[in-house]
Structure 1
């Protein structure tokens, strides 16, 4: 995940999840399983409406909206997100190194299940992508190693909203405001000592 800090905003970009790659072992209310998101599943989900960007999956903390300050697309790797956020809390968390990565919530609409080597495996063919989130270090233990938890929104019998996050890669933070200040300074004079010494040596040879 790449974070670019500016004076009044922060740009956050990276992959939310991969396609065509088997996950580590996950767990839901029915037990343990592995999962693969079929290529094209995100792209088709993105054609159905727009979604919000949240902080830590908190529905009351909307920090972005697709089509405004949030861009989502599926490419050969997976679901890619880029957002420019002006929320003061998110900017502070970014500046303090507290942002950990991307995550998303979804409902499976069509899936294929099978078992091999004593482990259940499912392929997500169609989904409803409900939201994407930036998560901070408070949420990290819940998501490390592509873990999952589910939540019933409206009591028993409700559909289970599921959450996923990529394995945590390094987070690169670039402070664009500091870079702009540095670019305004006079450049450091180059070291010409070796070139001068070489020219003096050539002049001596010519004099001989």
Structure 2
């Protein structure tokens, strides 16, 4: 995930999830399993309506929407996202390096299951993509590498929403705002120290 901080907004880009890559061992109410999202599953999901972008999967904290400030597409790697967020809390968290990564919620519509060495494997072939989220340090313990939790059944009989998050090691933050204001980091003068000392001695 790359975070580019501007004067009055923050641009967040990166992959929400990679396709055709086996997850770590996940767990839900039925037990342990690994999972792969098949190529094309996200593309098909994106053809069905538009999704909102939330902070920490909180329905009360909508920070974006497809067609406005959020772009989503599936490419050869996976689900790629680009968002320009003007929410003050998100900008502040970006400046404080508190944003941790992307996550998404989905309901599987079509999946196949297999078993190897006693471990169940699920291949998600089609899904309902319910939302994408930016998560901060509050959810980090639940999202160590690739994790899963399932929302409690609301009694409606519908399939519960599941959540997935990517690893967080690849977060990069840049600050366009500082460059615009002329606040540059001090240059590395180590190679000029000899010359500086000679000039001081004159």
TM-score when normalising by structure 1: 0.86
In the alignment, the residues of structure 2 paired with residue 81 and residue 153 of structure 1 have an alpha-carbon distance, to the nearest angstrom, of 29
Structure 1 residue runs of 5 or longer lacking an equivalent are: 185-190, 192-208
The Cα of 1:155 is off from its aligned counterpart by: 2.9
Question: Which structure has the larger Rg?
Answer: 1
Q: Which runs of 4+ in 1 moved over 2 A?
A: 155-158, 181-184
In the alignment, the residues of structure 2 paired with residue 84 and residue 131 of structure 1 have an alpha-carbon distance, to the nearest angstrom, of 16
Matches within 5 A, 1:187-198: none
Tell me the residue number matched to 1:124. 124
In the alignment, the residues of structure 2 paired with residue 167 and residue 97 of structure 1 have an alpha-carbon distance, to the nearest angstrom, of 16
Tell me the residue number matched to 1:38. 38
**Structure 1 residue 174 corresponds to structure 2 residue 174:** yes
| Maintained 8 Å contact 1:16/1:81 | yes
The Cα of 1:152 is off from its aligned counterpart by: 2.8
In the alignment, the residues of structure 2 paired with residue 23 and residue 86 of structure 1 have an alpha-carbon distance, to the nearest angstrom, of 33
Matches within 5 A, 1:92-111: 92-111=92-111
| Maintained 8 Å contact 1:73/1:80 | yes
In the alignment, the residues of structure 1 paired with residue 109 and residue 49 of structure 2 have an alpha-carbon distance, to the nearest angstrom, of 15
In the alignment, the residues of structure 1 paired with residue 20 and residue 170 of structure 2 have an alpha-carbon distance, to the nearest angstrom, of 22
| Maintained 8 Å contact 1:152/1:158 | no
| Maintained 8 Å contact 1:53/1:62 | yes
Give RMSD over aligned pairs: 1.7
Tell me the residue number matched to 1:7. 7
Report how many aligned residue pairs link the two structures: 186
Tell me the residue number matched to 2:199. none
**Structure 1 residue 85 corresponds to structure 2 residue 75:** no
Tell me the residue number matched to 2:65. 65
In the alignment, the residues of structure 1 paired with residue 153 and residue 119 of structure 2 have an alpha-carbon distance, to the nearest angstrom, of 28
Tell me the residue number matched to 1:155. 155
Q: What SS is found at the alignment partner of 1:182?
A: coil
TM-score when normalising by structure 2: 0.88
| Maintained 8 Å contact 1:19/1:37 | yes
The Cα of 1:153 is off from its aligned counterpart by: 5.0
In the alignment, the residues of structure 2 paired with residue 7 and residue 156 of structure 1 have an alpha-carbon distance, to the nearest angstrom, of 44
